[in-house]
Amino acid sequence: MAQAAIELIGINKSFGAVRANRDINLEIARGTIHGIVGENGAGKSTLMSILYGFYQADSGEISVGGQPASIKSPNDAIALGIGMVHQHFMLVDNFTVLENVILGAESDALLKKSIAKARSELERLEREYGLEVDPDAIIEELPVGLQQRVEILKALYRGAEILILDEPTGVLTPAEADHLFRILRQLKEQGKTIVLITHKLREIMAITDTVSVMRQGTMVATRQTTKTTVGELAELMVGRRVLLRVEKGEAEAGGVKLAVKNLTVKDSRGVTMVDDVSFDVRAGEIVGIAGVAGNGQSEMLEAISGIRRAISGSVMLDGKPIDLTGAADPGELRDRGLAHVPEDRHHVGLVLAFEENENSILGYHDDPRYLRGPFLDIDAIRDDARDKIAKYDIRPADCRLKTANFSGGNQQKIVLAREMEQDPGVLIVGQPTRGVDVGAIEFIHKRLIAMRDQGKAVLVVSVELDEIRSLSDRILVMFAGRIVGERGPEATEGELGLLMAGVEQREAAE
């Protein structure tokens, strides 16, 4: 048995009436990749935040490298060789890679020596671990996969021997996730200890040596990965058997509800991101858009939903045009029956400082159900929020809690509940299950299928090929801003992968 890198004994943590961690005992062997899985709100991130010093446990002990440790802040954790890559990156967007890496670890007031040292050290780390990234690139101009590499580089630059990653593939494409796993294996070979918090059980099976399962704040099991299965882990997480595949009948497609013709959209830099795209979505079908992130899917959804101005083309909703000049009001489109679940729940879908009940009506606050004369009916809003919490199993079940205090997966369910419960004729969804656990994924997929079966038109963008193949009645593949192919749900992952990589449709079919 390898020496323990970390030992947690009797860890308890509460936030008001919510007990996030209950008598947690956990041992993580040095030089291994240890997975921690559980439903959203199970207490995984809280436990690792205690280890990293963001929170202090109400009771319990921590041992690092066999020695008792007092971790009162992230600085204490860093001094003990612990680094953490958070689900939502802790980077300064308008700083360079190099500036972000040295931030908080500067060795001189004028930064000249710090920058020279960091540049040299980054070159070594890039060579050693395959973490190539331009040190002079501005963070906000990098794709999320490279931003995550910067977070890993930050931790390694500070001497991390124990690296905690919280939902590291939630924002990555399959190719980026594969590259991340190669990096993690290299880190393990160099003697680093990796703690991987995730809800993706197939990734747990592929990369970890050991996996621990949390449920409702308790540690319910630890298994050697080679001696367990996806099915057993899912059942341990949820406390019941979980359907791991989407069950759906044949689609009964009706008339066209959403028609996109020759749509062209540019980003803020003037780069064409959507290039002459045409497709339609019919009542009673789910159309999935597959593609590597950054190929125009986000800009396309923003143009359709009225958030971003299009350069040219047309979009018709129930046969009537959507104004693409920038004057389109997303509120007007909601009134016309188009609901939008944005890819970025933090910056577009939610106001994190608001209470859950306030976010549950965001954009629909002028609905007569939520009004008493000219004023908001607070009691009605909170009753409605409690109904959604129960229906969508949002945890904790507290409509007065600040939305920032919910886990990422539960934040996602708040947005989905708000949009789905408006009974829209057309639903467009970006990354429906990003950061969501296996039990909630099953629930969300069932809800999307139910909407399809009720005659709704559903457009789904996802980087998860399994999700696209399972949900979609038709699959469109985007590459470099264009639709490069259409396939049925029987398409293989390899076939779709070739199209996503820009292989001609004719070649991919051979």
pLDDT of res. 509: 43
| H helix runs in 94-189, sequence order | 97-102, 112-129, 144-157, 174-189
- Tell me if 257 sits within 8 A of 457, measured CB to CB: yes
CA-to-CA distance for 158 and 269, rounded, in angstroms?
34
Q: Which of 352, 432, 418, 408 is nearest to 385 (CA)?
A: 418
pLDDT of res. 75: 92
Q: Which domains are delineated in the chain?
A: 4-238 (3.40.50.300), 243-337+424-510 (3.40.50.300), 349-420 (no CATH)
Q: Which of 333, 346, 304 is nearest to 422 (CA)?
A: 333
- Tens-digit pLDDT profile for residues 352-399: 999 999 999 999 999 999 999 999 999 999 999 999 999 998 988 999
pLDDT band at residue 268 under the 50/70/90 scheme: confident
**Token pair 């057309």: residue:** 426
pLDDT of res. 109: 55
Q: Kindly state the average pLDDT of the residues 316-323.
A: 94
Q: Kindly state the average pLDDT of the residues 258-267.
A: 95
Q: Is the pLDDT of residue 327 over 80?
A: no
The percentage of residues in the chain with a pLDDT greater than 90, rounded to a whole number, is 56
More confident residue, 176 or 81: 81
pLDDT of res. 264: 96
How far, in whole angstroms, is CA 101 from its chain's centroid? 23
**Across the chain, what does the average pLDDT equal?**
88
- Where does residue 467 rank: exposed (0-12), middle (13-18), buried (19+ CB within 10 A)? buried
Q: Is the pLDDT of residue 172 over 80?
A: no
pLDDT band at residue 328 under the 50/70/90 scheme: low
**Which residues face 11 on adjacent strands?**
24
- Where does residue 263 rank: exposed (0-12), middle (13-18), buried (19+ CB within 10 A)? buried
pLDDT of res. 148: 84
CB atoms within 10 A of CB 362: 16
Q: Is the pLDDT of residue 505 over 70?
A: no
pLDDT of res. 32: 96
Q: Which of 278, 351, 272 is nearest to 308 (CA)?
A: 272
- Tell me if 287 sits within 8 A of 459, measured CB to CB: yes
Q: Is the pLDDT of residue 256 over 60?
A: yes
CB neighbour list of residue 48: distance below 8 Å, 6 or more residues apart: 36, 84, 164, 166, 195, 197
pLDDT of res. 213: 95
More confident residue, 134 or 108: 134
| H helix runs in 408-437, sequence order | 408-420
pLDDT of res. 8: 97
Query: If residue 60 lies in a helix (H) or strand (E), which one and from where to where?
Result: strand 59-64
pLDDT band at residue 7 under the 50/70/90 scheme: very high
pLDDT of res. 25: 96
User: Helices 144-157 and 112-129 sit at what angle, rounded to 10 degrees?
Assistant: 110
- Tell me if 467 sits within 8 A of 200, measured CB to CB: no
Q: Which of 165, 229, 169 is nearest to 33 (CA)?
A: 165
- Tell me if 107 sits within 8 A of 121, measured CB to CB: no
- Tell me if 25 sits within 8 A of 9, measured CB to CB: yes
pLDDT of res. 324: 87
- Tens-digit pLDDT profile for residues 208-227: 999 999 988 999 999 999 99
- Tens-digit pLDDT profile for residues 63-120: 999 999 999 999 999 999 999 988 777 889 899 988 888 887 666 555 666 778 788 8
More confident residue, 241 or 489: 489
- Tell me if 126 sits within 8 A of 132, measured CB to CB: yes
What six digits make up the tokens of 295? 């190929």
Give the length of the chain: 510
- Tens-digit pLDDT profile for residues 287-314: 999 987 778 998 999 999 998 999 999 9
pLDDT of res. 246: 74
Q: Kindly state the average pLDDT of the residues 316-321.
A: 95
- Tens-digit pLDDT profile for residues 135-159: 899 998 887 778 888 888 888 888 8
pLDDT band at residue 440 under the 50/70/90 scheme: confident
- Tell me if 144 sits within 8 A of 150, measured CB to CB: no
Q: Is the pLDDT of residue 176 over 80?
A: no
CB neighbour list of residue 136: distance below 8 Å, 6 or more residues apart: 96, 97, 98
CA-to-CA distance for 375 and 503, rounded, in angstroms?
56
For residue 292, give the DSSP letter: -
- Tens-digit pLDDT profile for residues 486-501: 999 888 888 888 888 7
- Tell me if 444 sits within 8 A of 419, measured CB to CB: no
CA-to-CA distance for 215 and 213, rounded, in angstroms?
7
Q: Is the pLDDT of residue 162 over 90?
A: yes
pLDDT of res. 504: 58
